[in-house]
Amino acid sequence: MRKTRTTLSDGRALIYYDDGADAGEAVPARPDPRGLPPAATHSERRHDRLLDEWVVIASHRQGRTHLPPADQCPLCPSAPGRSTEIPAPDYQVAVFENRFPALSGPGGGRCEVVCFSSDHDASYAGLGPDRVRTVLAALADRTAELAELPGVEQVYCFENRGPEIGVTLTHPHGQVYALPVLTPRTRRMLDTVARHHRATGRNLFDEVHDEALADGSRVVLAGDHWSAFVPEAARWPYEVHLYPHRRVPDLAALTEPERAELAVLHPDLLGRFDRLFPTPAPYISAWHQAPVRTGRQLYALHLELFTTRRAADKLKHPAGTESGMGQFINDIAPERAAAALREV
């Protein structure tokens, strides 16, 4: 992988990642001609004392770009007469600091955008193994680098796809959040895994993974280094968790053979989601990584992938019980969901 650093005109970082020395010339670090003023963003953290959870207030994001037409996409390469966030005529993978970050200023943290391809109409599932490996290398690199920033407690890599999910830019991209706090979900999993380890001496992540493989009815696919299965208590209509067979804390800890197989299996899963319905499935693809300083020996890197679509013409909306009380009700049995994903 080749890495080229530069900055945008307002001082934000921009990094190009290329497939390797055999990929042709590196993307030149061209200057950003837009002359943007320094970014004026401000987020703050507020503590919900009843739930013991942090909430981020980021009111500056109200004005962020929302579903622009393709010829005004800020993630496409720049062209004569049209400057974008990527001041280059083409690129392979590009990462830059978000212009409208959810985390900034006194609230702490950092938000980055990861562009998977210069092709506006591409998808992660269709990138091909070589390009996916470059994306994975970029995510691992960002995980390691952002974890070194002062005050960062957790690095979260994810992709949202589809306006039904709330996506505001349709160009194929993901995001990386360097969080100044542990998310409620991570903290809860850590507490549960630690209690289980104290009581039994065993790792609960390993047990969940091993039991799914032994049962078999919820397994979607399995390779030499990774397995994907529908969790026994899936919250979403179609939800798959992808685990490496070797427990590791984060993407940066994966070996080259593990990354190579992941570059095949992850797009395979996304393709199966798309073939469930006549139109591409909206989804969230979320990497759960160990916190920077807490529980790294017990935590297990894994991907949680789910779609909010429960039928060709129906979406699963978090309604009264889910949004109001956090009590999920799933319309599709996990075993049935796994069978459907295997068959497609």
Q: Which of the residues are catalytic?
A: 173
Contacts 24+ apart (CB under 8 A), 8-13: 8/32, 8/34, 8/36, 8/85, 8/87, 8/96, 8/97, 9/33, 9/34, 9/35, 9/36, 10/36, 10/37, 10/38, 10/39, 10/99, 11/38, 11/39, 12/39, 12/96, 12/97, 12/99, 13/96, 13/97
d(CA 66, CA 93): 22
Closest CA to 41 of 118, 100, 120: 100
Listed in order, strand segments (DSSP E) in 230-334 are 238-244, 283-288, 302-307, 309-311, 314-315
Q: In this structure, what token pair is assigned to residue 68?
A: 């622009």
Strands 314-315 and 309-311: antiparallel
Contact (CB, 8 A) for 152 and 180: yes
Element (H, E) at 204: helix 204-215
Q: Find all residues with CB under 8 Å of 297, minimum gap 6, and list them.
A: none
Strand duo 173-179 + 110-115: pairing: antiparallel
What are 176's two structure tokens?
């990386």
Q: Which of 143, 124, 131 is nearest to 281 (CA)?
A: 124
The first and second tokens of residue 210, run together, are 């091993």
CA-closest candidate to residue 341, choices 284, 279, 268, 276: 276
